[in-house]
Amino acid sequence: MIEDVTSHPPSVPPDRPDPFLSVHAVNIFVRDQDRSLRFYLDQLGFALAFDARLQSGERWVAVSPPDGSAVLALVAPKPESREYQLIGRATQIVFVTENVIAKYDEWRKRGVRFHHTPRLRRVKYERPDGVSGDETPVWGGVFTHFRDVDGNSFALVGFDEVSREVEAQRRAVAEKLEAERRATQEIEIAKQVQARLFPQTLPALNTLEYAGICVQARAVGGDYYDYLNLGQERLGLVIGDIAGKGMAAALLMANLQANLRSQCAIAVDQPEHFLRSVNRLFFENTADSAYATLFFAEYDDRERRLRYANCGHLPALLLRGDGTLERLDSTGTVLGIFADWDCSIGECRLAPGDTLALYTDGITEAFNERGEEFGEQRLVEALRRHRELAPPELLQAIVGDVQSFSACEQYDDITLVVAQCRGDSEEINGKNYGLWDV
């Protein structure tokens, strides 16, 4: 039984756009692909669209006119095939140009063979009163025909209306290219500006070595990390993740960074007030839907004390020197959603050999070809495996593990900050921890 498909037309889910549809290629039957290819490239000025071997072993060669609007596949059929008999016939393919005479002169100089010089197309008519004749159509058509090296025939035409449309399309394409050029330039400038927003210097500490990295999925992104010099031998370690991606997230990231740096003077004595002030500014200066997760840690270099606030961010990982793991979980909600906002402050002390890792979900949610996420457990295993490395090398090793695991396209920013506690001038695990060049 054959079902009447017209009674059950295929449907497209309402939340999805119409499926993409275009002409794949038009076949031109030729005797020698290389010989024909040279004709279309050298004499007609076409572009090479494709030249590859199919799984069957056949060679697929295709060319396209300068505007790239169509693809002509140069097919070399077997001599005994029916397609071979079609070589050297009229293809019924029509090329349109705004100036037939100019294109005729150009191609003739390159050795293209034409059937006749360009001329006005005239049509015959017969009126109801019996009067007949011929006249030039109102669209003002000019045409000629040419042949390729195999005798395949093509029409070359130009219409007044088409000429105007071609010119309009040419202007539209030029404007689009200019707009794309400006957008690319603006994105490049934004990329350079955002790169300067990441920390450029590392305040030196006696008991802590640290480093950070951000591998962005796009030219600009919404992940953020920073080092805040709080004075009194204290350092602020910050990592954040802005909701959204691209330029919008980058602008919000810049806003959050400015709020943090402008308010950090009060962070040492009043960390809760500092974060409330940052939230208030972020709330007032952004749209209702804008928010950010944030992990802020204040490290006291003299006492090796870490005070922290986890504002809806992923838990920081504290890998102790004896191999035990502590998770510094959330102490408050995200920034920017509520005008009246508060958080609590957690506290712990670091010992020589401890490693602290702050990260964004670009690490834990990176997935492989089977759809498996890298996850927190693999991050912990990577920390354990590479813990003997200095912070800059530790960063590269962990990011390398993530990228090897997730070999597909990167969809989210990968941001990581690691800090290792050490003694003032003592050896840890048989290794003298001097000052690393970050």
Measure the CA–CA gap between 243 and 314, rounded to whole angstroms. Answer: 14
Q: Which domains, and CATH codes, for the chain?
A: 23-177 (3.10.180.10), 190-432 (3.60.40.10)
* Residue 147 near residue 153, CB atoms below 8 Å: yes
CB atoms inside a 10 Å sphere around CB 351:
14
* Residue 274 near residue 263, CB atoms below 8 Å: yes
Q: Which pLDDT score, from 0 to 100, does residue 126 have?
A: 55
Could you give the dihedral angle defined by the CA atoms of residues 308, 313, 315 and 319, in that order, rounded to the nearest 10 degrees?
Answer: -60
Cα dihedral sign, 327-333-334-340: negative
Q: Which pLDDT score, from 0 to 100, does residue 286 have?
A: 84
CA angle 272, 274, 275 (to 5 degrees): 70
CA angle 245, 249, 250 (to 5 degrees): 115
Measure the CA–CA gap between 206 and 303, rounded to whole angstroms. Answer: 11
* Residue 137 near residue 121, CB atoms below 8 Å: yes
- Please list the pLDDT of the chain residue by residue as tens digits (438 residues): 444 444 445 555 555 566 777 788 899 999 999 999 999 999 999 999 989 988 888 899 999 998 877 899 999 999 999 999 999 999 999 998 878 899 999 999 999 999 999 887 554 545 566 655 554 444 447 889 999 999 999 999 886 665 566 667 778 888 888 888 887 777 777 667 667 777 888 888 999 999 999 888 776 677 889 999 998 899 999 999 988 777 778 888 888 888 888 888 777 778 888 999 999 998 998 888 889 999 999 999 999 999 999 999 999 999 999 999 999 999 999 999 999 999 999 999 999 999 999 999 999 999 988 889 999 999 999 999 999 999 999 999 999 999 999 888 788 889 999 999 987 644 334 333 333 333
Token pair, residue 223, equals 């992940």
How far is Cα of residue 200 from the mean position of the Cα atoms in its chain? Answer: 26
* Residue 212 near residue 391, CB atoms below 8 Å: no
Measure the CA–CA gap between 150 and 145, rounded to whole angstroms. Answer: 14
3-state secondary structure of 59: strand
Token pair, residue 218, equals 């796009």
3-state secondary structure of 165: helix
Q: What is the 3-state secondary structure (H, E, C) of 301-325?
A: CCCCEEEEEEECCCCEEEECCCCCE
Measure the CA–CA gap between 334 and 292, rounded to whole angstroms. Answer: 6
Give the closest residue to 218 by CA, choosing from 199, 239, 191: 191
CA angle 429, 435, 436 (to 5 degrees): 90
